[in-house]
Amino acid sequence: MRNKTLLTLALSAVMISQAQAEVSDAVIESSFYPYKNGVPSFPGLSAGMTINQGNVDQFKDALDPAMYSFIKNGDTELKVGETTDFVLDESYIEATRKYSSGVTLGAGHGEISETVAGRPFPEEPKLDDPRAGEKLAWNFKYGYNWGDSASIYPFYWKYRDMNTGKVERTIKFNFHFLNFTHRTQHDPVPAIDPNPSEFFRGTYAEVLEPYDLKNTQLLIHRFEDDTKLDNVYLYLGFQRRVRRLSSGQTTDAFLGSDLMIEDFEGYNGRISDMNWTYKGTQNILMPMYNHNDLTNFDTEVHQNDPDGFQMVAYGGKGGCFQDITWQLRKVYVLESDPVDENHPISKRVHFIDAQTYTIPRTISYDRKGDLWRSFTIGQAHPDYHLPINKGSGVSIDDSVTMIDVQANHCTTAQFKGIVDPNLSPVDTFTVQNMRARGK
């Protein structure tokens, strides 16, 4: 009760103080409409062309280093699409305008002043700002991401041997996300009340297949307080009860996949766990596309969809690469290196899409500094996806591949992302829901 009161007072104070100062139109336009005055270009690059082993050197500077290597090795080819506008929902932009003018970093690493909603640091990052990287990380954390709530319904993960192409495991999930705070679009805004432990976000997942994992459920509560570790609950079908998990092991290979829990969505950890360095802004090719304009789909993994939806197809070496189009976009390059020297990764390089603040590309390096893994999150425009997503302003996570270049192994994921608050009511994100839905 006391915590809740303090939170309410703090939010009120922020809202009052910020009501008098709004983020300027120029900053809003620069941050959310980077292509208003035209899209970027690269010599010789045009929509419709394919970058392959034969011409990749010409476009080396339009690619991140890992993608360049893959194409150079002949592991995959890259189809180029037109640069398109991924405008986020107006409510998020207006929340930024309204609430973000007074947001500052705290004195300590991983601290921020009170925020309500919107992009906390909409100004262009500066190389001479020693904490610019930290601000980008906060912008990602409080990004529009899946909006206030969404579902991946269903969600197929495949574990693949990159040498042979053999699919070792296929896991079918449903995922649900809900923002308890920093809400802008769907009532209640800006926060769900009551929320006594001050959750920021809930993630709920259940496994539908295969049999040995069926009925496994995972619930993650992330707190407003970034220094606090998540509360994680696991329901195991063969035990029929909820187990608490220790959540500090974010480098755990999730369910045996090539993804650490910390890798989800580009970065899924505490801001305070990493040192963040802004490395500059580039125009490079990013895996962003119109799902409905794709020409090749996987017709086997997901059939008889009630909406006629089809999953993204995979190809290339070992079936580890999405068959999608890539477009040239404004990207912030952000490095993160773990505070913990025992962390298995020495650094990640995140390629953040400047308009959406999603992280479609991340490359990670092992402790020796060698390239270890390459992570691609294909982003689909909501207006060219499921009809229900049209106008949602959510850049839809639509296809994923995490390639372990040292083990020659990959995990791919195919999404049916749905932005529909009715699929993710707040009681979905309770421990009791796991018992009720469990076998």
Partner 1 sequence: MSKKITTTYTRMALAISAAVVGGQMATTATAAETTWAGFVENATYYRDDVGLSKFRNTAQAEFEKKLESETFRSLSINGVLRGTYDGVYDLNDKDFGKDAQESHLGANWHDADLSNMVLAPGTPFPCENDPALCNNLDGYMDQHESDAAFPEFNDQLDFVRELYVRGDLPLDNGDVFSFSLGKQQIIWGKTDLFRVLDVLNPVDYSRHNIYDELEDIRIPQWMLNATWRMGATETFDDINLSFVWNFDKFRPSNLGTCGQSYSILDAGCFFSSRINGGGPYVINDVEEPSWSLANTQFGVKWEGVYGDATFSLNALHFRQQLPSLHALPGPGDNFGLFNIEFPRVNLVGGAIDYYSMDMDAVWRLELAYTQGEELARDLNGHKETDMLRYVIGFDKNLVMPSLGTQSAFLISAQLFGEHILDHVEDMPNEEDNWIATLLFKGWYMNNRLSPQIIMAHDFGGKATAVAPSISWTPDNHWMFNLGLNVKFGGDETFGWSPVGGEKVYEPLARFTNGPIGVANQEDEIQLTVRYSF
Positions touching partner 1 (CB under 8 A) are 1, 4, 159, 168-170, 194-197, 199, 208-212, 214, 221, 228-229, 231, 233, 237-249, 251-253, 255-258, 260, 344, 409, 426-427, 430-433, 436, 439
Q: Output 49 or 245, the one with its CB closest to partner 1.
A: 245
CB of 400 to partner 1, least distance (A): 16
If the CB atoms of residues 61 and 225 are measured against partner 1, the closer one turns out to be 225
SS3 category, 263: helix
CA proximity to 350, closest of 359, 341, 342: 359
Tell the residue number behind the tokens 């060698």, with chain if given.
370
Letter for the amino acid at 52?
N
Contact 355, 96 (CB under 8 A): no
Beta strands 325-338 and 78-80 are: parallel
Helix, coil or strand: residue 271:
helix
**Between 130 and 248, whose beta carbon lies closer to partner 1?**
248
Q: How far is the CB of 348 from partner 1 (least distance, A)?
A: 15
What is the smallest separation between the CB atom of 388 and partner 1, expressed in angstroms?
Answer: 19
* Smallest distance, partner 1 to C-beta of residue 249, A: 4
Can you tell me the distance from the alpha carbon of 395 to that of 288, in angstroms, rounded to the nearest whole number? 9
| Cβ closest to partner 1, residue 273 vs residue 323 | 273
CB 284 within 8 A of CB 331: yes
DSSP class of 343: -
Q: Is the link from the previous residue into 130 a cis peptide, with omega within 30 of 0? A: no
Cα gap 343→362, rounded to integer Å: 17
Minimum CB distance to partner 1, residue 439 (Å): 7
CA dist list (Å): 147 to 9, 130, 187, 211, 392? 25, 30, 12, 32, 8
Closest-CA residue to 118 (of 138, 143, 141, 140): 143
Give the residue with the Cβ less far from partner 1, 43 or 369: 369
Identify which of residues 212 and 370 has a Cβ nearer to partner 1 in the complex: 212
323: nearest Cα among 138, 76, 42, 100? 76
Cβ partners under 8 Å of residue 91, min gap 6:
184, 185, 189, 393
**Among candidate residues 141, 365, 146, the one with its CA nearest the CA of residue 270:** 141
Residue 350 has phi, psi (to 5 degrees) of -100, 135
Which two structure tokens, joined as six digits, stand for 306?
Answer: 């009630």
- Give 94 or 366: the residue with its C-beta nearer to partner 1: 366
Candidates 157, 148, 180; CA nearest to 421 is 148
Query: How far, in Å, CA of 261 to CA of 218, rounded?
Result: 12
Structural tokens at position 223 = 């707190």
Report the b/e string of 365-377 with b at 16+ CB within 10 A. beeeeeebbbbbb
d(Cα 185, Cα 118) in Å, to the nearest integer? 11
Nearest CB to partner 1, comparing residues 58 and 249 = 249
What minimum distance in Å lies between the beta carbon of 355 and partner 1? 33
Q: Which helix (H) or strand (E) holds 137?
A: helix 132-141
Which of residues 231 and 281 has its CB atom nearest to partner 1 in the complex? Answer: 231
> Is 255 or 363 the residue whose CB approaches partner 1 more closely?
255
Token readout for 6 is 């303090």
Rank residues 101 and 346 by Cβ distance to partner 1 and give the closer one: 346
